[in-house]
Structure formats: structure tokens, C-alpha cells
Amino acid sequence: MSKTVKNIFIQGAISPEFISDSIGKHSAKKEIGAHSIFLGQVRADMIDGKKVESIEYTTYEEMALEKMTVIREEIFAKFELTCLHIYHSLGIIKAGEICLFVFTSSSHRKNATAACEELVERIKAELPVWGKEIMGGGEHQWKVNQ
Amino acid sequence: MSKTVKNIFIQGAISPEFISDSIGKHSAKKEIGAHSIFLGQVRADMIDGKKVESIEYTTYEEMALEKMTVIREEIFAKFELTCLHIYHSLGIIKAGEICLFVFTSSSHRKNATAACEELVERIKAELPVWGKEIMGGGEHQWKVNQ
Amino acid sequence: MAIRVISFGQLSEITGKIFQAEVQNTDQLAALLRDRYHIPVDIKYMVAVNKKVITNNTLLKADDTVALLPPYSGG
Amino acid sequence: MAIRVISFGQLSEITGKIFQAEVQNTDQLAALLRDRYHIPVDIKYMVAVNKKVITNNTLLKADDTVALLPPYSGG
């Protein structure tokens, strides 16, 4: 069984221009009626009086991409989608920058919206990715997903 | 009681660049952790063997903006949001172009996602906007929301 | 008394965008639309008086604006 | 038999990114992490053998790759 393993990782933050390019590429797909997009942005949380200035993301890339291939197939099987794109940042992402971009498209909105939501949940729960929250003074703590 | 009535209508299609500009403006709001975006794209449906080439949107603008102000307030009261933006096209929008842009931001994803979904439903159900589907030969039919 | 009526969507193709109607209340307006404009019975619409949708017969004043609203299809 | 172990997130700060462990199975590896690396008991982690998360004690072969995975926090 040969699966195409697509890379989802991007070194550094995801720029708004990258997102608009991705949106623009769908104008030729005229069966699409609805796009649903989720963006994760790094939050400047306060932790014990210190502000998070950035998050450094690392991954077990081989395992993450295999897992993502499975998730992608299951989502395509469950929802009627025209397409589906996922990008996750690696490296240091500053507060206010975008670190996750999940993009689903369908002829009708319910499929696009539900698929996008489920993808976000699964990415957070199932992908071997770790965020290290780096504070102003250089201290850090390991992010915990809610 | 004085309410700020914001305009949501844009003449013509919503460009990907408009969307990325809107996203980029949120990088200074460092309490945001999640953005949810819904985009409506004009579909080239086949109707009795004829292809929809564009939709012409019209509105009862005064009433729509009043209604939108109420919806906006109710959504802000119901969900913890940092901000909320809505744009709807008027005039002729070609198949493949974007006609609706709903954008919610929150510190955590559940609020952003749920608010965005509810906004889309309410916009489609409650805003006095009409779409005229224009076919290849110049014929038209009035769009019906599902 | 001439009331200003604005018509939207499919209805505007039948009545024109704006017209004056000599009516005292919204029931009389509905009758006028049926009898003079021959609006087919399968065309559903709501009536708004000064931007508020009404469900019962409503008395109209000279400066009221009445709107005829077919089912919404935005988004 | 030296098994290659890759360590991620918080655990990589304790064990280093990659190390060799003289173990026959994953239970022996867990004991090694506790005894030699003194990994605190409140640090939870999963073990993957060749990218598959295992839940029971698993025999290891020389060319296996074992990964130590603290709770995920992507997105």
C-alpha cells in the first residue's frame, strides 16, 4: 500500500500572505461553496507573572506525518470535502504570529465546518508536536493542551 | 440608545488579499489564540442543464444593518470573543469568487469556532439579502438557501 | 393614503422596485398584490413595516415604509 | 543490545535528544529512565516503537527505534 505522505510542517510562522495564496488557488474549483478555516495564534499568556513571548514547536516528524496521513484519509471518508490543507509551524513563533492553519472546502457549509473542527481537535490530540513556551527572562515551560 | 451600525456590505467579490489584510491586523492582539473563518464561494451549480455563471446579490440595506447590529450584540453576549468581522458582497459575483467572509477571534478555539458557525447560520436565515443566480444564456433564477 | 412600498428579490420583478399603494393596512396591501399584480400564490413573502417584520394585519400611516421580502438567500 | 531511543519535549531536557539504551524490552527501558535518568514520577509519557505507540511491555530488536513522547501540545 503506497500512501502519499504530504508534509504539513513549515519552518517559522505562517504568514497572512501564505493564507491568501492558499485561498486564491481555490477559485478555479467552482464546485466549492464553502471554506472553513481555523488559525492558531500564539498567545502572550501570563504564567506566574511572566509573559509568554514565543513558543518553540518541535515534532517527531516521521510519526506526525504518518499520523496525519491517516487522519486525512479518515476525514475525507467521513465528510464530503473538495479539499483539505493543513500547515503547522516548527521553530520559534512569536506571540501574535500564526502557528496552525487548517483549511477545508466543500460544496456545502456543514461538511466544511464540521471537518475543520474535527481536524483541529485531532491535530491537537494526536500529532506528536510539542510547544515550549518561552518567557521574557528566558525561562520556559512546556505547553499543555486543554 | 445609540448603537454603532457597522456596514458589512462590499460592492463586488471579496479578494483573498482583503482576507489576509484582515488576518494580519490581529497580530497585535496577543490575547487571541484562535481564529475561525468562514468563506462563502459562488458555486457553478447546474440548473436544468444550465450552468450558474454568477450570483447577483441585493439587500434591504437599512434593515440588514440593523439586524446585523442585533446579531453582533447577541453573539458577543453569548460567546467570549476578542473580535468579530463580517463582510457580504453585493452586485454580481462570478462563480469561484468569494461573497461572504465571517471572522471570529477568541483566546480559546471553542468560542471562536462556535460563534463563527452560529453567525453563518444567522446571516443566511435572518439577513434580508437575495441572490439571483445568472445562467450562461442570460436566464436567471432566484437562489434558495438550504 | 399612498404608502411607499419597496419590493425585493423575485417580487421586484413583478411589482417593480418601488411603488405607491393606496391602502389603509397590510391586509389591503396583500389583496392589492394578489388582485392588481397577480402575484402567484406559491410565491411566499414577509411584510416589514419600517424595517420590522409584521405577522398580523397592521394599520399604516402616511410616512410608513412597507417592504415586501421574499425568503432570504444571502451568503 | 543497544537500542536507539529518541526523546521529545520535556523529556529531551532530561535524557538528551537521542541516547542508546542496553535493554531487551520496554519495561526495562522504563526502569532505566527511572533509575538512571531519575525521570520524576509526575512526568507522564507514552512510548512508541517504530512510530507505533505501545501500551504493554514490548520486546525490542536491535534495529528498533524507540521514542519517548510526553503529552502532545501542538496547535
pLDDT 10s digits, B36-76? 999 999 999 998 889 999 999 999 999 999 999 999 999 99
What's the rounded mean pLDDT across residues B70-86?
Answer: 98
Q: Choose the mutation target among B117, B127, B130 for the interface with C, i.e. most C CBs under 10 Å.
A: B130
pLDDT at A2: 53
Q: Distance from D43 to chain A by nearest Cα, in Å?
A: 11
> Which residues fall within 8 angstroms of residue C20, CB to CB, at 6 or more apart?
C2, C3, C4, C5
CB atoms within 10 A of CB B133: 24
pLDDT at C33: 96
For the stretch D24-44, pLDDT in tens is 999 999 999 999 999 988 899
Q: Closest by alpha carbon to D15, among D3, D24, D4, D6?
A: D6
**Residue A142 to residue D51, Cβ atoms within 8 A:** no
Q: Does residue A1 have a pLDDT over 60?
A: no
For the stretch B108-118, pLDDT in tens is 999 999 999 99
Model confidence band, residue B138 (pLDDT cutoffs 50, 70, 90)? confident
pLDDT at B47: 87
What's the rounded mean pLDDT across residues A32-41?
Answer: 98
List chain A residues with CB under 8 Å of D72: 124-130, 145
In angstroms, the CA A134 to CA B93 distance is 46
In angstroms, the CA A106 to CA A23 distance is 13
Chains C and D touch (3+ CB pairs under 8 A): no
Core vs surface per residue B10-26: b (16+ CB within 10 A) or e: beebbbbeebbebbeeb
Give me D6's grid cell: 529518541
In angstroms, the CA B136 to CA B46 distance is 10
Q: ∠ at Cα B67 (C65, B4), nearest 5°?
A: 100
**Residue B27 to residue A117, Cβ atoms within 8 A:** no
Tell me the residues of chain B between 47 and 76 that have a Cβ less than 8 Å away from chain A.
Answer: none
Residue of C6, C71, C75 lying closest to B123 (CB–CB)? C75
Q: Cβ of A44 under 8 Å from any chain B Cβ?
A: yes
Q: Choose the mutation target among B38, B43, B58, B60 for the interface with C, i.e. most C CBs under 10 Å.
A: B60
What's the rounded mean pLDDT across residues A86-90?
Answer: 98
Cell 434591504 -> residue: B60
Q: Cβ of A117 under 8 Å from any chain B Cβ?
A: yes
In angstroms, the CA A41 to CA B77 distance is 23
pLDDT at A47: 87
Give me A130's grid cell: 510539542
> Which residues fall within 8 angstroms of residue B34, CB to CB, at 6 or more apart?
A38, A39, A40, A41, B105, B106, B107, B108, B109, B111, B112, B113
pLDDT at B3: 61
Q: Closest by alpha carbon to B28, among B85, B87, B82?
A: B82
Mean of per-residue pLDDT scores for chain A:
96
Cell 512510548 -> residue: D47
* Higher pLDDT among residues B137 and C70, named by residue: C70
CA–CA distance from A104 to each of A34, B96, C5 (Å)? Answer: 8, 15, 43
Q: Does residue B2 have a pLDDT over 80?
A: no
What's the rounded mean pLDDT across residues C37-65?
Answer: 95
Chains B and C touch (3+ CB pairs under 8 A): yes
Model confidence band, residue B1 (pLDDT cutoffs 50, 70, 90)? very low
Residue of C8, C67, C75 lying closest to B58 (CB–CB)? C8
Q: Distance from D51 to chain A by nearest Cα, in Å?
A: 5
Q: Cβ of D48 under 8 Å from any chain A Cβ?
A: yes
- This model of the complex carries an ipTM of 0.95
**Residue A144 to residue D67, Cβ atoms within 8 A:** no
Q: Cβ of C43 under 8 Å from any chain B Cβ?
A: no
**Residue D73 to residue A142, Cβ atoms within 8 A:** yes
For the stretch C18-45, pLDDT in tens is 999 999 999 999 999 999 999 988 899 9
Amino acid of residue B117? E
Cα torsion B118, B121, B122, B124 to 10°: value is 160
In angstroms, the CA B62 to CA A24 distance is 31
Q: Distance from B30 to chain C by nearest Cα, in Å?
A: 30
CA–CA distance from A119 to each of A84, B110, D69 (Å)? Answer: 10, 13, 21
Give me C25's grid cell: 393596512
Residues shown for chain B: 146
pLDDT at A48: 86
Residue of B23, B31, B40 lying closest to A43 (CB–CB)? B31
In angstroms, the CA A21 to CA A132 distance is 29
Q: Does residue B83 have a pLDDT over 60?
A: yes
Q: Does residue D8 have a pLDDT over 60?
A: yes
Cα torsion D9, D10, D14, D19 to 10°: value is -20
Residues shown for chain A: 146
Model confidence band, residue A29 (pLDDT cutoffs 50, 70, 90)? very high
Cell 491517516 -> residue: A70
CB atoms within 10 A of CB A141: 16
What's the rounded mean pLDDT across residues B21-42?
Answer: 98
Do B76 and B84 meet the contact criterion of CB atoms below 8 Å apart? Answer: yes
